[in-house]
Amino acid sequence: MGDDTDVGESKPVSEATSPRLCRRDMLTLGWLALTGVIVAGIIVRARDEPGPKPHANADSAGAVPAPQDAELASPDVALVRTLIGHTAPVTGVAFAPDGQTLASSAGDKTVRLWHVPDGNTLKTLREGLEYVNGVAFAPDGQSLASASSDGTVRFWHVADGTSLRTLTISTASVNSVAFAPDGQVVAAASTDGMVRLWRTSDGTLFQTLAGHAGAVSSIAFAPDGQMLAAASQKTVRLWHVGDGGLMRELTAHDDAVNSVAFAPDSQSFATGSSDKTVRLWRVSDGMLLRVLAGHTDVVRGVAFAPDGQTLASAAHDETIRLWRASDGAFLRIFNGHTGLVSGVAFAPDGQLLASSSNDTTIRLWHPT
């Protein structure tokens, strides 16, 4: 039966399918044509519309240069504030015991008192001053002493800025001034090679420490009040405060010693020198513990943090460096001054570091 089934008339394939293929091809061609129009429109629009703007620094070939160092650098977060007001080199800085007031001495013949929290000037002390080389607060914070090139030490009342007393040292310039920890004695170092000690209660001169090889550039009392260090030329002398006896003399550096500071525990002290180094010494036997090298010019100031763990140094290379006191490791460097840095001082809580400079400014830094 399979042979008897009506399957219709057999036709050549071309004849049987050509009408349906033509209709399908026509539809396909239509869709292609429509797609071509759309694509062409997109191309034309893309050609006519402006493209993205080139990078402002792109070259003629469209290449963008790599970021410059200035673009990559971030602001120095260590800098808290710059204090502006002096009109000549600033020679030294000192914090009041409460940390709220900062005193600065300068070549413009003034001492300025600054409010630390906002950097405003509280008072400008001018009476009878010549070039002022240094400044120090009494331990109670009520009075202030300044060292002047006219051979005087002046005492000031901090609250109102009035002059309390003037101590005169002939014609020698006074380079440095310091209070004993108990506040009962004030010492002054001068260019005549002497260190003089007065009672603060009545201004009586009761001791003169002589024998230095030349001008005494810097002095510091040990925190325990038992001794005083004095820097002169290449040497440091340790004096017993009670009787004025010489305890030890150290040939400390290869060039002039410009600054000296005791660690808070009174067991060691630091010196800064024109030989570009900072040196740490043991008090008990005068042994040199380590040499801190890194500055590229004269070191003018040194100061220990209140916890004794960090030492700061200021130099003519316009930088401040921080060192770890325990092993002398370099910690960080502060840049920003545009003149030699003459001195450094830590706030009593150790949270701020002040620096003075020949660029006439004082800068406050976060030391950590």
Q: What is the per-residue pLDDT across 27-39, written as a single tens digit (0 to 9) for each?
A: 344 444 444 433 3
**pLDDT at 216 exceeding the cut of 60:** yes
CA gap 341, 92 in Å, rounded:
9
> Percentage of the chain surpassing pLDDT 70?
79
Contact (Cβ atoms closer than 8 angstroms) between residue 135 and residue 147:
yes
In a shared domain, residues 42 and 83: no
* Same-domain check for residues 116 and 194: yes
103 plus 216 within the same structural domain? yes
What is the torsion angle, in degrees rounded to the nearest 10, for the CA atoms of residue 42, residue 44, residue 48 and residue 49?
Answer: 0
How far is C-alpha 237 from the chain's CA centre? 30
Residue 60 lies in a domain: no
Which domain, by its residues, includes 316? Answer: 79-365
> Average pLDDT, whole number, for the chain?
84
Identify the band that residue 17 occupies on the pLDDT scale cut at 50, 70 and 90: very low
Q: What is the pLDDT, as a whole number, of residue 128?
A: 80
What does the pLDDT average to over 108-118?
A: 97
Q: Are residues 94 and 40 in the same domain?
A: no
- Of the two residues 40 and 316, the one the predictor is more confident about is 316
The answer, yes or no, to whether residue 11 has pLDDT greater than 50, is: no
* Per-residue pLDDT at 76: 58
Same-domain check for residues 320 and 174: yes
Mean pLDDT of 316-340: 97
Q: pLDDT by residue (tens digit) across 179-201?
A: 999 999 999 999 999 999 999 99
Q: What is the pLDDT of residues 290-323, one digit of tens each?
A: 999 999 999 999 999 999 999 999 999 999 999 9
Under a CB-based contact definition with an 8 Å cutoff, are residues 282 and 265 in contact?
Answer: no
Do 128 and 173 fall within a single domain? yes
pLDDT of residue 23 exceeding 70, the answer is no
Question: CA-CA distance, 30 to 212, in Å (whole number)?
Answer: 109
Q: Are residues 26 and 98 in the same domain?
A: no
Tens digits of residue pLDDT in 66-103: 233 222 223 356 999 999 999 999 999 999 999 999 99
Residues 26 and 156 placed together within one structural domain of the fold: no
Mean pLDDT across the stretch 249-258?
A: 93
Question: What's the total number of domains in the chain?
Answer: 2
**Alpha helices by DSSP H, 49-99:** 69-72
pLDDT value, residue 298: 98
3 domain-assigned? no
Q: Please indicate, yes or no, if residue 58 is contained in any of the structural domains.
A: no
Residue 8 lies in a domain: no
Scored b (16 or more CB within 10 A) or e, 304-321 reads bbeebebbbbbbbbbbbb
CB-based contact 310:304 (threshold 8 Å):
yes
CATH (domain of 232): 2.130.10.10
Residues 146 and 273 in one domain: yes
The verdict on 180 and 94 lying in the same domain is yes
- Residue 277: CB atoms within 10 A of its CB come to 19
d(C-alpha 158, C-alpha 125), whole Å: 10
More confident residue, 43 or 177: 177
Mean pLDDT of 226-252: 95
Residues 143 and 207 in one domain: yes
Q: Is residue 355 part of a domain?
A: yes
Q: Mark whether 161 and 41 lie in a shared domain.
A: no
Residue 64 lies in a domain: no
In a domain, 165, yes or no: yes
Which residue, 48, 63, 91, sits at the end of a domain? 48
Residue 56 domain-assigned (yes or no): no
